[in-house]
Structure 1
């Protein structure tokens, strides 16, 4: 409670100047801002689904409210606010709040930036002693004349306010003055300066009591369609602002605070708007500035938001004369600074990386030139166009293949790759590429598509049938989903999802495509560079976020010791990614036993670093079938006797060979059994190191034996009790293959 009470005072200090300024900017009575702030705290606070969100009059609604006041008058605007609140309650009860999450952040940020620009253009006139025009364009057009003929005292008040705000924001973080929000001292200094120096500047006109002159809201005069549109616009815009604020607050909520219930929050916002409209207040919405201040001040429950409304109400009732000392130019200058902050250029750079900047600029320009509702609709429309463009983006590549040396003679072959979403919009592009293939040619058609509609299927299938009738041959390879196969078989069930299959898992020889101009097979270096280019084109963008997280630190889960054989790819057979495996590869996946005289410490250097520095607690040794090292060990090393280094290294296989010979039977494949025994032997070698044995006995280290059968592409795990390798059944935990001593 102590934290919440202190936080409520901080939020109260933020809310007072902003509520007054937003009321002035909206063309509403000044008291309307205080009524809305009190309703946002006292009504929305206890009932809301976001415990730490603070509601009140929002700058993002200023443009919309100003238009409503100009069109219908203040009393009728209160009725529209009341009806919009009731509509929000209905929407919240209908549990549709999560629909707001479908609104693109680019549109929201563009809308806020547009609102900021409109506020700045309008309030600059007030700061300079004039009055705002009927539109942002008119404000911009009249601004040069206002700058040439300012009211000196109003301009000085505004300048003082801005200077104090900027200076306050630059105070060191440890300074206790930072506990007081900047808007309060800025307004206070400007008011004191204007009073002390006798500056003539228009001041706040507050009624004697908060509800002085209150009357029942009036029905708007106008067409029913126009009024209904105003109610829906206000309800939707306020709801979107509140719910997006709730989502932002939810992302940084402290531990122990309940997550946001968006439907409950929408009901609470509707109730607050209904009360505020009934009492003559501004529309209410969740406000990110106040909510952030609430979090930073240490609030932990909704009590803080409720108390902030109580303090606002108490100030409005008891301290009217103090508020009336505030110059309007100071409030307008505060809104100018707030508007400038809403126009955040850093957002544009971030949106450009995601190619969503057009939606931002569309919403921004629409709000400034056309209005708030029109600007949001324009931004949503641009977002839809961008999404449709992405969904229908299609790439078609065609190249003629040159036979590799040793290939049998035959008709020319062509390679056609189609990537993207294959819809009726892409049919002309695909058919143009397919018809360019000569009659009678063989075609490898790769359909790397995530969707194919009926028109696209018909076009591809009709071309295939026609091409094959003319003597050609078509081989279709679908990389993602079997859209074409489903169309041919008539299986209209949901497509069978497969894991994303980029082409990196296939060997170079299977993927190598050469242009017709190539006179000779490519060099190994060029093949390597082609692979790097393909990685940059298709995979780098996908793994970049992961690699960025891993760039400064690695935390692998397991040490994987395996053979250097090129056919064994640890990340494929363990379905792991970057940062998961700490890998040591050597000929025969050997581990020199403790006290070995072999002058090679590379294996144990890896083990020591993995267990002592990276704190890895699992070591796997993986052998494989058709191992050349095991074949050499079985042959006594005669075939590699001329390779001195390799011969010395293979001496580590002697204990494995002796263990193999001690067995009574070796099965149908002695080489496979030798490779499996070798895995068991290397695990025993690890336990010859006293410090590893201690960890294993204490249960701090797990040892796992694996065997990869190349022909079947399956991995087996060592069952220590049986001394054999068994196929891993589905959904059986790895602990079933370990004993209590940590041994495999």
Structure 2
């Protein structure tokens, strides 16, 4: 970064990139906060910390951190269950967990998480976010559970059709989505303005000029929004539900950040990410956010991609984007209060749709059916239960799928001499294949001398070893020597 300060061309690129990222981050910081059920300023605080604190830390030089749509559902549930005051304590604990994982060099292990589980997690979040923000677009209070959000849609449609205020607000949100979808088809000069900013600005201008009566973002001021957690808030962490939320925050935020880092590394030719240092940087950022009572943060692929595409070369761009957010929140807080809630909801509906990998589902089903099942089950579980249980179920299913696929076993029967059979067992013998193995052995002709050749086995678990020894003893068969690998 110091070399950039001495390079006028590089400095100009980083400054311009920081402005682009600032314009992308601004509506998303506010929108994620509102969707999470917390004051809008808390989203800006998390974005500021993501720029000024995490941006100055080693790890990934070009990815940008802030409040993410991927955690919106979990944050909303936490605020509803434990209260806004306890959010800071949960986020602080999350940051400390991430710091510990980074110090113990666990950063690279997060890359071992099944991609199908991560995609399913994001798809589930996208579905809950999509259905939930449809209610916000209409100015209607959204149900808490994912199932209720879906089953309540007919009632929502009826309310929009019969209530003029709901129809007006929904039209503003729908118009915002249309602008977001059409913006990428405009000339490249127009696209220099980020789509989310343009859509929100147009919606704000239309509602102001037309004098439309729609709900707007409530603004209290940056300093008044800072609410450090108190002693009582930390005592709530003693419950199993709160600890589960901390674990979910830590695992999901870390996985999303490190997967984002891997994606950003593929976009540029600069220094590669140090995953352990990046995990610690995220942990420090969340610790600071927790102290300030703000939203949790992750690295955000949308802002990171905008940073790279805008020509950033060093971490200076992401630090400056945090500075621009701070100046905006401190000097122009009233500008936030004119934004219609329906416009922000429209941005998040669009973001929720982008989290669902619709185009990838067909090829995934044709080429890797098991992965598609893991993705779908994870997403459905998140919608029907909650984030933590859905991800745990997805991880469990991914482990079972992998164990089943790697547990291939083949039994081949030879008859080298009369009344003598040799059964060659190859592959990986685990308890998952035990029924098939025993069925083959039980089907052997009676009254023959049987030898089990296990020399080609790569793995033999305790259950299979015990079963083979028991079968051999009962049938008078002999067991061959095991390979060293088994």
TM range (shorter): 0.7 to 0.9
Partner of 2:405: 390
Q: Find the aligned partners of 1:428 and 1:239 in 2 and give their Cα distance.
A: 39
Once the two structures are superposed, residues 139-190 of structure 1 have per-residue CA deviations (whole angstroms, 9 ceiling, x without a partner) of 2122211112221220121121011111112236xx2222222111111111
Shift of 1:465: 9.4
Shift of 1:317: 1.4
Partner of 1:495: 485
1:254 aligns with 2:237: no
Q: Find the aligned partners of 1:245 and 1:188 in 2 and give their Cα distance.
A: 28
Shift of 1:64: 1.1
Partner of 1:51: 61
Shift of 1:239: 1.8
CA contact 1:7–1:294 (8 Å) conserved in 2: yes
CA contact 2:456–2:482 (8 Å) conserved in 1: no
CA contact 2:228–2:290 (8 Å) conserved in 1: no
Change (3 A) 1:3 1:420: same
Q: Find the aligned partners of 2:338 and 2:178 in 1 and give their Cα distance.
A: 20
Partner of 1:560: none
Q: Secondary structure at the match of 1:421?
A: strand
Q: Find the aligned partners of 1:424 and 1:276 in 2 and give their Cα distance.
A: 47
Q: RMSD across aligned C-alpha pairs, in angstroms?
A: 2.9
Shift of 1:293: 1.3
Shift of 1:338: 0.5
CA contact 1:35–1:280 (8 Å) conserved in 2: no
TM-score, scaled to structure 1:
0.58
Q: Find the aligned partners of 2:454 and 2:379 in 1 and give their Cα distance.
A: 42
Partner of 2:377: 362
Partner of 2:87: 77
Shift of 1:224: 1.1
Q: Find the aligned partners of 2:463 and 2:236 in 1 and give their Cα distance.
A: 49
Query: Which of the numbers 417, 429, 443 marks the counterpart of 1:422?
Result: 429
Partner of 2:348: 335
Partner of 1:485: 481
Once the two structures are superposed, residues 654-692 of structure 1 have per-residue CA deviations (whole angstroms, 9 ceiling, x without a partner) of xxxxxxxxxxxxxxxxxxxxxxxxxxxxxxxxxxxxxxx
- Equivalences, count: 465
Partner of 2:239: 225
Partner of 2:122: 112
1:294 aligns with 2:307: yes
CA contact 2:87–2:294 (8 Å) conserved in 1: no
Partner of 1:155: 170
CA contact 2:420–2:448 (8 Å) conserved in 1: no
Greater C-alpha Rg: 1
1:347 aligns with 2:360: yes
1:275 aligns with 2:285: no
Q: For structure 1, list consecutive stretches of 5 or more residues without a partner in the other structure.
A: 402-409, 477-483, 488-493, 497-744
Partner of 1:137: 147
Partner of 1:102: 112
Q: Find the aligned partners of 2:474 and 2:144 in 1 and give their Cα distance.
A: 66
Partner of 1:592: none
Q: For structure 2, list consecutive stretches of 5 or more residues without a partner in the other structure.
A: 1-10, 161-165
Instruction: Give the alignment of 1:4-83 within 5 angstroms.
Output: 4-83=14-93
Q: Secondary structure at the match of 1:49?
A: coil
Q: Find the aligned partners of 1:74 and 1:444 in 2 and give their Cα distance.
A: 65
Change (3 A) 1:465 1:269: closer
CA contact 1:48–1:267 (8 Å) conserved in 2: no
Query: Which of the numbers 454, 459, 464 marks the counterpart of 1:451?
Result: 459
Change (3 A) 1:444 1:201: same
Instruction: Give the alignment of 1:609-648 within 5 angstroms.
Output: none
Q: Find the aligned partners of 1:495 and 1:326 in 2 and give their Cα distance.
A: 65
Q: Find the aligned partners of 2:319 and 2:439 in 1 and give their Cα distance.
A: 66
Partner of 1:320: 333
Shift of 1:80: 1.8
Change (3 A) 1:341 1:460: same
Q: Secondary structure at the match of 1:211?
A: helix
Q: Find the aligned partners of 2:305 and 2:419 in 1 and give their Cα distance.
A: 67
Q: Find the aligned partners of 1:113 and 1:40 in 2 and give their Cα distance.
A: 25
Shift of 1:74: 1.3
Shift of 1:351: 4.0
Partner of 1:571: none
Shift of 1:331: 0.2
Q: Secondary structure at the match of 2:428?
A: strand
Q: Find the aligned partners of 2:150 and 2:435 in 1 and give their Cα distance.
A: 48
Q: Find the aligned partners of 1:143 and 1:466 in 2 and give their Cα distance.
A: 63
Higher RCO by CA contacts (8 Å cutoff, separation 6 or greater): 2
Shift of 1:348: 2.8
Q: Find the aligned partners of 2:331 and 2:363 in 1 and give their Cα distance.
A: 47
Shift of 1:321: 2.4
Q: Which moved more, 1:216-225 or 1:115-124?
A: 216-225
Partner of 1:235: 250
- Structure holding more helix per residue: 2
Once the two structures are superposed, residues 373-409 of structure 1 have per-residue CA deviations (whole angstroms, 9 ceiling, x without a partner) of 11111111111221232233434455889xxxxxxxx
1:192 aligns with 2:205: yes
Instruction: Give the alignment of 1:365-376 within 5 angstroms.
Output: 365-376=380-391
Q: Find the aligned partners of 2:433 and 2:68 in 1 and give their Cα distance.
A: 46
Once the two structures are superposed, residues 383-437 of structure 1 have per-residue CA deviations (whole angstroms, 9 ceiling, x without a partner) of 1221232233434455889xxxxxxxx7488785644312355455334434514
Q: Find the aligned partners of 1:137 and 1:434 in 2 and give their Cα distance.
A: 48
Shift of 1:332: 0.1
Shift of 1:39: 0.5
Shift of 1:350: 4.7
